[in-house]
Structure 1
Amino acid sequence: MNQVRPRMTHLFEQLGLDASEDAIALFIVTHQLNAQTHIVQADYWSEAQRQFLEEKIQSDGEWAIVVDQLNESLHEESVIKNKI
């Protein structure tokens, strides 16, 4: 069996979001979180999306890495602000 490693595009598809590169970039820029808000606490997720993200984080597998990458991307502005 040949399994495909999860990528950001796969994560967005699983979340029911546009998975094009432009759409992912736009989502990240327009959905920035403050430093205290964890990705699953963001108010823009539906309950199903939130559960999916929580499950993948807790699985501690390859999906957890991709969710963590998204989490870091959604906190880029708060990291910059904390460095200033």
Structure 2
Amino acid sequence: MDAKQLIERIEGYEGELPRTRFVSDVYAETMAKISAKLSQDEIEDLVALGALVMKRSTQLVPVLQWDGISEELVGGRPVV
């Protein structure tokens, strides 16, 4: 499989994605499963890619629900 085919499969992926706060954690867990089959150079490439994923990915930020807001936090104004 070449890079173009891989991108097409990634873009067309319809399976369920893991809900995680840190994408890099899922990346590391997934790559650890196949690392024994890879050469040292391939592992170094995966580490560099993981560093890019960590640097460029976003984090899920916990958000309060309306019914979970305590009286102390109610004093502000709504953000629209």
**Class of the TM-score when normalised by the shorter of the 2 chains:** 0.3 to 0.5
Q: Of the two, which has the highest radius of gyration?
A: 2
Greater fraction of residues in helix = 1
**TM-score, normalised by the number of residues in structure 2:** 0.32
| TM-score of the aligned structures, taking structure 1 as reference length | 0.32
